[in-house]
Amino acid sequence: MSPVADDLGQLGHLLATDTLAVIAAIALMSWLLRRREGVLAWLCCAGIAWCVFNLAGLTGIGARLPDLPASRIALLYPVLFTTLGLAASLVGASLPRGLVVATALACLGLGVAAIPFHGWELTRIAGLASIGVSLLMLGFFATRAETQIGAAERLALAALNALGLGALGVDLYAGTIWPGKSVQFSPYVGVIVLGFSGFVIMRHILANAEARERLNQALGQRIETTKANLLASESARHALEIAHAVKLERERLMREIHDGIGSSLVAALASAERQGKESTTAVVALKGALTDLRVAVDSLEPVEGNVATLLASLRYRYEPELRKSGIAVKWMVEDVPELDWLDAPSALHVLRILQESVSNTMGHSRGTQLTFQCKMALLQGRPGLRIEIADNGSGFDMDAPAIGRGRRNMMQRAEALGARLEVLSKRGEGTATILWLPLVRKQGLILEEGQAAER
């Protein structure tokens, strides 16, 4: 071969060797940053072995086999060992530790023995046989793959590694096959093998990093969801504690009212009744006060949003007085849904509105029948409950400009509830008080208990 061609071959050989050194350096730095990626260590060792093997070949280009340097054969075994280790690590083949140690010792022994006996034919045959055994082991690794490496990548890795090992054998015996030729394939094939291996490694590292990122995001979302659930649970527990405390306080107030003010009113009423006609006005006033007190106590009872229960308690309190006044009660209350927003203050508002209507019937209507009615009804497309208390009394003139304090208070209470109140009356035909309660209250309607207590 001409000197120019020989120089070009040497230059290409050197460039390929430098490329292998760069691959080894990059693999080493990557492994130092990611110690758990053992495949990077194998890539670094393989790059170093191929690089040193090619450097030894720079002095033997064009030499015949009998003149092949001893280092060339000795360095073949580290190349075979590291290349097989890299291939096994890439495909995830599970190998016994003893097999790996035995292979390493065998390669070390054969490499050391090749130095003093490199001129023997048996040493050369052993090198070629080692390449053949390495090819068989590549096939074995491919069948023992455990990672999720694709079939195409596995096939490409096997083919390129087989090509690289074949190129080693050709280069070792090139002096015998092509006397006087200086062309070598192993440096270039080594770059292809290790370069593709590095590409596969980096692709899988990036894929794993992306998978970990997705997992971290999913875990972060689960943590946020769990935190939100814990906060909701804690809020619910706190709300239950508050509700329990309110219930206990309500029961205490009911006992105090019943045993204190209630008992005093009952005693005063009994004393006034014993005094005869002189205390008729006081008896009426005391009975009214006692009924008001009982209605207030009833509003403290937990009704769980049940309007029918609320109406039943009102009927229970007033029916004896209505009968004494000659007024019959007609009950037309249907089974209606519960109102989630109907708490104790709201229940007191409802009772006070209806109580005013019943009191007006007893005091002014001169009627003989009072009808309680409750059913579902729509108001401007909104679902709600329609409560009506109607009598057959004398009624009054709706066109009268004056509005009494009682009716004004009823309107204010209905407004506080977000309800609709309507009083219909016609002289000689009775009076009807209609209260419409929404199933769902609008936002912003906050009931002020202080105002409720004052009214």
pLDDT digits (tens, 9 = 90+) for 392-409: 988 887 776 656 777 888
All CATH 1.20.1070 domain ranges of the chain, comma separated, are 3-221
Show the tokens assigned to 372.
């309680």
- Distance, in Å, from the CA atom of 35 to the CA atom of 30, rounded to the nearest integer, reads 8
| CATH placement of domain 305-455 | 3.30.565.10
Q: What is the per-residue pLDDT for 62?
A: 40
- Is pLDDT above 90 for 434? yes
**CA distance linking residue 440 with residue 384, whole number of Å:** 8
Give the mean pLDDT of 36-65.
74
Fold assignment, 3-221: Rhopdopsin 7-helix transmembrane proteins (1.20.1070)
14-43 burial string, b = 16+ CB within 10 Å, else e?
A: eebbebbbebbebbbebbeeeeebebbbbb
Distant-in-sequence, close-in-space partners of 420: CB < 8 Å, separation ≥ 6: 379, 414, 435, 436
Quick one: CA dihedral 140, 142, 143, 146, positive or negative? positive
Q: Where in the chain is the domain with CATH 3.30.565.10?
A: 305-455
3-state SS of the chain: helix, strand, coil percent to 5?
70, 10, 20
345-360 exposure pattern, b = at least 16 Cβ within 10 A, e = fewer: bbbbbbbbbbbbbbbb
Angle between helices 76-91 and 97-114 (to 10 degrees): 160
Residue 227: the pLDDT is 92
| More confident call, 414 vs 364 | 414
Q: Which of 19-23, 79-83, 156-160, 381-385 reaches the highest mean pLDDT?
A: 381-385
- The Cα–Cα gap between 340 and 242 comes to 17
The region of weakest confidence among 149-163, 177-191, 200-214 is: 177-191
> How many separate helices (H) and strands (E) can be counted in the chain?
15, 5
Check if the beta carbon of residue 411 is closer than 8 Å to that of residue 422.
no
Tens-place pLDDT, residues 215-245: 999 999 999 999 999 999 988 888 888 877 8
Residue 174 has pLDDT above 70, yes or no: no
What does the pLDDT average to over 366-392?
Answer: 92
Sign of CA dihedral 119, 122, 128, 130: negative
Work out the pLDDT band at 205, boundaries 50, 70, 90: confident
Instruction: Name the nearest CA neighbour of 425 among 352, 330, 354, 361.
Output: 361
pLDDT in tens, 308-323: 888 888 888 888 888 8
User: 329 forms bridges with which residues in the sheet?
Assistant: 370
Looking at per-residue pLDDT, the higher value among 155 and 440 belongs to 440
pLDDT at 447 over 50: no
Look at residue 419 in the predicted model and tell me its pLDDT: 92
Q: Residue range 8-17: average pLDDT?
A: 74
pLDDT score of 438 more than 90: yes
Q: How much of the chain exceeds pLDDT 90, in percent?
A: 13
CA-to-CA separations, 5 to 174, 236, 279, in angstroms, rounded: 17, 86, 139
Say if residues 168 and 133 touch (Cβ distance below 8 Å).
no
Mean pLDDT of 155-181: 68
